[in-house]
């Protein structure tokens, strides 16, 4: 009888399901405090830089690297640095990289940046972004295509005796290396002084499904303080639409995370709280 009871208890222990809860992975965030780069993992904060003037931290697609700009209070310098979270070191991808505009590839640890109109892209050495290759000249602004193989690039329009010209956009492969035959026209923004007056295109942002890309068409400096034109272009460069007018702030326009809706703060005039309205544009109805 005792043996039967013992066997019964053993069977219960073997067949009753047990739940094992693994501890959730610690979240990691990079942030700026007192102009220095910090990383927070769980409840632990680690200071990464000292005696610098850091801004614009951006993580690589897999989170291993953090790119940032080392500047100063006067803005006279703007040097690109990278922090390797695995090796725990700060370094520059080249002897000196001067830029204020850099962007990580969407699918690999490669970084693109502009230096006085020259678009460059880093090489990969020992698994890290190191060195660089030239991509294209005459670049005002740029963004990676979602496939990580090409860039959409804007170039400022030219002032002619008849007025400002059109704004050309190009599709350029990462390995263009300044070869003109690899640089293809993507779209040309037709401008005029009444409907769409602009001399440049900035702040490219892709929709969640990669079917649309938004941009801000900017007029000359003084006029840009009061109004810029928010536009969208289809991913093939076949459809172009003006969405509305807004101020020159890239964070004032954002795509929905799962739908083709573009939210922005519309309105003209350089005062932040006057004549401004939160607006959502639907790309289905915008066609």
**How many whole angstroms separate alpha carbon 20 and alpha carbon 125?**
41
- Give Cα 12 to chain centroid, integer Å: 56
Question: What DSSP letter does each residue of 109-136 carry, written as one string?
Answer: S-EEEEETTEEEEEEEETTEEEEEEEEE
Q: CB–CB of 11/20 below 8 Å?
A: no
Measured in degrees and rounded to the nearest 5, phi and psi for residue 285 equal -80, -15
Q: What does pLDDT average to over the chain?
A: 90
Residue 3 has pLDDT above 80, yes or no: no
- Predicted local confidence at residue 53, as pLDDT: 95
CA dihedral 237, 204, 96, 31 (to 10 degrees): -150
Of the candidates 132, 152, 148, 122, the one whose C-alpha atom is nearest the C-alpha of residue 140 is 152
Q: pLDDT band at 272, cuts 50/70/90?
A: confident
Domain limits of the chain? 27-112+126-132, 138-287
**Structure token digits, residue 184:** 């293809």
What length is written for the chain? Answer: 287
Mean predicted confidence (pLDDT) in 120-133:
95
* pTM for this model (two decimals): 0.87
Give the architecture-level CATH label for domain 138-287.
Beta Barrel (2.40)
Residue 177 has pLDDT above 60, yes or no: yes
Quick check: helix, strand or coil at residue 9? helix
- Predicted local confidence at residue 20, as pLDDT: 45
Higher pLDDT, 5 or 280: 280
Q: What percent of the chain has pLDDT over 70?
A: 90
Contacts of 273 (CB under 8 A, 6+ apart): none
């Amino acid at each position: 009888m005792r043996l039967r009871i013992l066997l019964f208890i053993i069977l219960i222990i073997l067949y009753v399901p047990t739940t094992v809860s693994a501890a959730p992975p610690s979240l990691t965030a990079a942030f700026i405090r007192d102009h220095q780069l910090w990383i927070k993992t769980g409840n632990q904060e680690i200071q990464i830089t000292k005696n610098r003037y850091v801004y614009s931290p951006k993580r690589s697609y897999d989170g291993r690297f953090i790119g940032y700009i080392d500047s100063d209070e006067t803005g006279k310098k703007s040097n690109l640095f990278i922090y390797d979270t695995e090796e725990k070191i700060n370094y520059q991808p080249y002897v000196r990289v001067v830029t204020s505009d850099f962007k990580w590839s969407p699918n690999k640890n490669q970084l693109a940046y502009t230096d006085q109109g020259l678009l460059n892209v880093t090489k990969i050495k020992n698994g890290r972004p190191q060195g660089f290759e030239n991509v294209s000249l005459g670049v005002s602004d740029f963004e990676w295509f979602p496939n990580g193989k090409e860039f959409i690039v804007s170039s400022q329009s030219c002032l002619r005796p008849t007025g400002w010209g059109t704004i050309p956009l190009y599709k350029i492969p990462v390995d263009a290396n300044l070869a003109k035959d690899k640089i293809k026209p993507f779209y040309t923004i037709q401008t005029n002084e009444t409907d769409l007056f602009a001399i440049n295109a900035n702040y490219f942002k892709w929709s969640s499904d990669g079917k649309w890309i938004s941009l801000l068409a900017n007029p000359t400096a003084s006029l840009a303080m009061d109004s810029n034109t928010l536009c969208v272009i289809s991913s093939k460069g076949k459809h172009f639409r003006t969405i509305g007018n807004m101020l020159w702030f890239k964070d004032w326009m954002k795509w929905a995370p799962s739908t083709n809706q573009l939210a922005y703060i519309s309105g003209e005039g350089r005062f932040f709280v006057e004549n401004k309205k939160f607006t959502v544009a639907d790309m289905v109805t915008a066609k």
